[in-house]
């Protein structure tokens, strides 16, 4: 269920988001279409039907496997709750007073970790991308830390921070930092040096160059980094909550396993998927608002 759910989520985001080519500078010798409207044409009914059908069949198979206590040797469905058990469990959780505390604390942690990672990642990325001195100074330790997954920080984070709350936020921060940082550096390096030369020619100083050219030029890539970072920070958070949490969706999922209320495990997983996907979509939409020219450029490039 977990894997299937995530792959569905991934398909959805990639459909709603335009392909992120390396800021392909559209050399235009030809007339461009006037507007970018209508680039998201609705799926024809037939394809929509197939997709819905596939979802229904998937749930039906799941129901059949769990309902019949199927044992396939390698995989065992005997203890997997069926959809018919999950739905009441979901209803119970939605009516319980605890839901607010679980969802609220997870959202707070993700928000705190993600926002601080976004600020730090963009600032560091712009510095490293623009200044050789900053790159020499900052990149070696960052390169050393980069391959270490956020989850691997859990024991050390617990030792480093006074509260488990802070250590979970820190792990979320680590998860989001590197995607944002790397995409920012990538975005800065992808800026056409001719644009920088032109801005200087037109009277831009160092600071103006940063705000008027470097930051907007790197923006599409930064948005990609933020959207990936949002995904990884949820991933890291849920794992951290399983180990160090007292409230939170990850904690709820793990606690349900310990209490042997198996239907709640699946409810927790559904929550993780829904919130992870929703926050990634939110970041992407927000990014699209910040980069209207990029949406138009993509629409022109595709048609």
Partner 1 sequence: MSDPHEISRSGHIESRDLSIGWRHGKEHFQAVDRVSFSIAAGQFVCLLGPSGCGKSTLLGALAGHIRAASGSLFLDGAAILAPSPERGLVFQHHTLFPWKKVIDNVAFGLKMKGVARAERRARARELLDLVGLSGFEDKYPVQLSGGMQQRVEIARVLINQPRVLLMDEPFGALDAQTRWIMQQLLLQVWASIRTTIVFVTHDIDEALFLADRVLVMSHCPGRIRDDIPVPAARPRGEAWLTSDGFIRLKRHCLDLIHDERPCANPPDGADLALQPAVSRLAEALI
Specify the DSSP class assigned to residue 164: H
Q: Does 21 bind partner 1 (CB under 8 A)?
A: no
Report the distance separating Cα 127 and Cα 138, nearest Å: 9
Among 202, 206, 258, 260, binds partner 1 (CB under 8 A): 202
**Which x/- pattern, by CB under 8 A, does the window 111-130 give for partner 1?**
------------------xx
Helices (H) and strands (E) in the chain, counts: 13, 0
Tokens of 25: 């500078």
Report the distance separating Cα 206 and Cα 283, nearest Å: 29
Among 20, 63, 116, 139, binds partner 1 (CB under 8 A): 139
Nearer to partner 1, 4 or 28 (CB): 28
Nearer to partner 1, 115 or 209 (CB): 209
Q: How far apart are the first and last CA of the chain?
A: 37
**Between residue 264 and residue 293, which ones bind partner 1 under the rule CB under 8 A?**
291-293
Q: How far is CA 239 from the centre of its chain?
A: 15
Write down the least CB distance from residue 301 to partner 1, Å.
8
| Cβ–Cβ under 8 Å, residues 207 and 246 | no
Report the distance separating Cα 245 and Cα 113, nearest Å: 15
**Between residue 228 and residue 257, which ones bind partner 1 under the rule CB under 8 A?**
none
Q: Does 222 bind partner 1 (CB under 8 A)?
A: no
Write down the least CB distance from residue 121 to partner 1, Å.
16
Torsions phi, psi of 76, nearest 5? -120, 120
Among 90, 216, 261, 281, binds partner 1 (CB under 8 A): 216
Q: Which residues bind partner 1 (CB under 8 A)?
A: 25-34, 129-132, 135, 139, 185, 188-189, 192-205, 208, 212-213, 216-217, 219, 291-294, 296-297, 300
């Amino acid at each position: 269920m977990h894997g299937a759910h995530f792959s569905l989520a991934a398909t959805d985001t990639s459909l709603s988001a335009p392909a992120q080519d390396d800021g392909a500078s559209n050399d235009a010798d030809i007339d461009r279409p006037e507007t970018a409207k209508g680039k998201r044409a609705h799926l024809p009914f037939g394809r929509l039907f197939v997709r819905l059908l596939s979802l229904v069949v998937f749930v039906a198979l799941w129901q059949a496997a769990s309902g019949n206590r199927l044992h396939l040797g390698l995989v065992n469905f005997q203890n997997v709750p069926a959809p018919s058990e999950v739905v009441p469990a979901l209803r119970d959780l939605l009516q319980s007073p605890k839901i607010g505390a679980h969802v609220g604390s997870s959202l707070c942690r993700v928000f705190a970790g993600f926002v601080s990672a976004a600020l730090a990642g963009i600032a560091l990325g712009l510095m490293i991308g623009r200044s050789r001195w900053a790159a020499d100074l900052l990149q070696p330790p960052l390169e050393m830390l980069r391959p270490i997954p956020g989850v691997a920080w859990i024991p050390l984070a617990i030792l480093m921070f006074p509260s488990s709350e802070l250590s979970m936020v820190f792990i979320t921060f680590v998860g989001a930092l590197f995607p944002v940082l790397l995409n920012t550096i990538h975005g800065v390096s992808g800026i056409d040096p001719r644009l920088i030369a032109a801005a200087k020619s037109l009277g831009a100083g160092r600071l103006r160059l940063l705000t008027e050219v470097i930051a907007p030029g790197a923006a599409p890539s930064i948005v990609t980094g933020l959207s990936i970072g949002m995904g990884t920070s949820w991933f890291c958070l849920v794992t951290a909550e399983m180990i160090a949490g007292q409230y939170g969706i990850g904690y709820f999922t793990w606690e349900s396993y310990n209490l042997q209320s198996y239907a709640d495990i699946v409810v927790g997983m559904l929550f993780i998927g829904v919130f992870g996907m929703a926050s990634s979509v939110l970041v992407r939409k927000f990014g699209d608002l910040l980069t209207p020219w990029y949406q138009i450029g993509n629409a022109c490039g595709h048609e």
